[in-house]
Amino acid sequence: MSATERLYYHDSRLLEFDARVTDLSERDDGAIAVMLDRTAFYPTGGGQPNDTGTLGEARVVDCIDMEDAGVLHVIQGPTPEVGEVVHGRIDSLRRLDHMQQHTGQHILSAAFVKLFDAPTRSFRMLEHECEIDVALDDPTDEKIDRAVELANQTIWQNRLITIHDVTAEQALALPLRKEPARAGELRVIEIDDFDLTPCGGTHAHATGEVGIIAVRGWERAKGLTRIQFMAGVRVLIDYRKANRTAAEVATAFSAGRDDSPALVARLIEENKKLARRVREFDQIACRVEAEEILKSSRLEAGYRPPVPLVVTRIFPDRDADSLKHLALALIAHPNVIALLGSRDGDAARLVFARSPDAPGDMNTLMRKACETIEGRGGGKADMAQGGGKKVSAIDDALAAAAESVTER
């Protein structure tokens, strides 16, 4: 038997209690942990985060399940004395949220079993949503919608939820939805005529307290179907955010909320067409720019054939595609080596290229340059691209590359 009587086992609505301090200990980080003879604080476990609240004048920031040793309450604030009776108070909104999510998971998991014989393999209650990994073959939106519909019908029927303490022998005779995770006496949660499963978490007294279940998305993960869902108050909060976003988008289009998806789709298609036109114009502009750069470079360098003309340029805020267009325009001329760079926001971009009759391995040059700018890159002997996070080193990288090709 645990050294701490777990009051939440019998009443998930219990938010205040009195208990005696039985032990004090110091954690590795210096925090004080309090052991009580009884507690309504739920410790992290079973996919459910811990409760928070107060213990006397101290703030309870964490609760740790030490199994048979009891429950540790990690506090911030005044430390009580061993033997002292303290008053505990649970943060009610956090408890309600966890209760809704955990009960909602039982209902949704049972729905997948009833409809598709698809058991839940794992459950995680995250900060904004929850996840279950379900052994559901060939998942589709239609299948998941059917499970959510059955789950919500069960919620709205307000079925009674009962807690049973059973022995291991009694458990063997029960039609449990999943195998127990531990031996010995079990706490079994029964949703009237719908689900029966062992669990140590906090649960509602009736399904109606869950309110509603909504699925935000799903994906295939590690051979299972991972479903992101939320229940109760979280659904309301998420709806408000989604509705506000949809309304803002609709306002931007001077349209109704339900008309926005079609307008956004049309805008995206128009943007794709414009982007293609911009690329075409950029290629034309780069050909003109290349002529000007080559002319000025020949004058600056006192260029004399057959030595290759090395063009080194660094541009502000020029993306990799535009750098490539310019490099291609430059090497369309004979005996040219183009070493181009750009300070594109917080990243350095590089494109190295050479004409077919010019010497040098651009791939080797690029790899060395990327070491200087703390990035990665590569390509072929005639053209290579790369980038890195050390924007301040881009001048050194191009200078070293230019020196390398002129030494040949």
In tens, the pLDDT along 307-323 reads 789 999 999 988 889 99
Q: What is the pLDDT of residue 302?
A: 61
- 96-240 folds as Threonyl-tRNA Synthetase; Chain A, domain 2 (3.30.980)
- What distance lies between CA 292 and its chain's CA centroid? 48
**Coil vs helix vs strand at 46:** coil
Sign of CA dihedral 202, 10, 18, 3: negative
- The span from the CA of 218 to the CA of 228, in Å, is 6
Lowest mean pLDDT among 63-77, 89-103, 305-319, 371-385: 305-319
Residues of each domain in the chain carrying CATH 3.30.980.10: 96-240
The strand pair at 224-231 and 130-134 is best described as antiparallel
Task: Name the percent of the chain lying above pLDDT 90.
Answer: 73
Q: Which helix (H) or strand (E) holds 221?
A: strand 213-221
Question: To 10 degrees, what angle do helices 92-116 and 141-156 make?
Answer: 120
pLDDT at 306: 73
Which pLDDT belongs to residue 128? 92
Distance CA 191, CA 161 (A): 5
| pLDDT confidence of residue 97 | 96
Rounded CA separation 220/228 (Å)? 12
Predicted model pTM? 0.73
For residues 285 and 329, give the distance between their C-alpha atoms in angstroms, rounded to a whole number: 10
- How far, in Å, CA of 102 to CA of 272, rounded? 44
What pLDDT is attached to residue 301?
Answer: 58
- Strand 336-344 to 224-231 pairing: unpaired
Write out pLDDT tens, residues 315-364: 998 888 999 999 999 999 999 999 999 998 889 999 999 999 999 999 99
Residue range(s) of every CATH 3.10.310.40 domain in the chain: 272-406
Q: pLDDT grade, residue 2 (50/70/90)? A: low
Which candidate, 359, 356, 357, 352, places its Cα nearest to that of 401?
352
Q: What is the pLDDT of residue 303?
A: 60
Pick the CATH number of 272-406 from 3.40.50.720, 3.10.310.40, 3.90.1150.10, 3.90.1410.10: 3.10.310.40
For residue 84, what is the DSSP state?
A: -
21, pLDDT greater than 80 = yes
- Selection from 305, 306, 324 nearest residue 315 by Cα: 324
User: What's the pLDDT score for residue 295?
Assistant: 87
Summarised one tens digit per residue, pLDDT across range 121-176 is: 999 999 999 999 999 989 999 999 999 999 999 999 999 999 998 888 888 888 89
Least Cα distance to 325 among 295, 351, 297, 302 occurs for 351
Treating both helix axes as pointing N-terminal to C-terminal, what angle do 233-253 and 260-301 enclose, rounded to 10 degrees?
70
Per-residue pLDDT at 1 exceeds 50? no
Beta bridge partners of 39: 6
Predicted pLDDT of residue 80: 95
Distance CA(291)–CA(297), nearest Å, equals 10
Q: Are 375 and 348 in contact (CB under 8 A)?
A: yes
> Measuring CA to CA, which residue among 315, 340, 342 is closest to residue 330?
340
Q: Give the type of residue at 89.
A: R
User: CATH for 5-90?
Assistant: 2.40.30.130
Determine the Cα–Cα distance for residues 44 and 72; give it in Å rounded to an integer. 11
Mean pLDDT of the chain: 92
Inter-residue long-range contacts of 273-282, CB under 8 Å, 24+ positions, other chains counted: 279/321, 279/325, 282/321, 282/322, 282/325
Task: Please tell me the distance from the alpha carbon of residue 43 to that of residue 314, in angstroms, as a whole number.
Answer: 58
User: Are 303 and 309 a contacting pair, CB within 8 Å?
Assistant: yes
- Residue 184 has which token pair? 């010995």
Q: Are 6 and 202 in contact (CB under 8 A)?
A: no
Mean pLDDT computed over 106-126: 96
Q: What is the pLDDT of residue 123?
A: 94
Kindly state the percentage of the chain with pLDDT values over 70.
Answer: 97
Burial class, 192, CB count within 10 angstroms (exposed 0-12 / middle 13-18 / buried 19+): middle
CA end-to-end distance (rounded Å), the chain:
81
Of residues 304 and 325, more confidently modeled: 325
Q: If pLDDT is split at 50, 70 and 90, which confidence band does 87 have?
A: very high
Rounding to the nearest 10 degrees, give the CA dihedral for residues 305, 308, 309, 313: -170
Segment 258-279 shows an average pLDDT of 89
Sign of CA dihedral 108, 113, 116, 122: positive
Strand partners, 220: 225
C-alpha span between 248 and 260 (Å, rounded): 10
Range(s) within the chain of domains with CATH label 2.40.30.130:
5-90
Do residues 109 and 42 make contact, with C-beta atoms less than 8 angstroms apart?
no
Residue with tokens 């063997």: 172
- Contact criterion met (CB below 8 Å) for 21 and 81: yes
| Token couple for 43 | 């410790």
What average pLDDT does the segment 74-90 reach? 96
Residue 334 neighbours by CB distance under 10 Å:
13
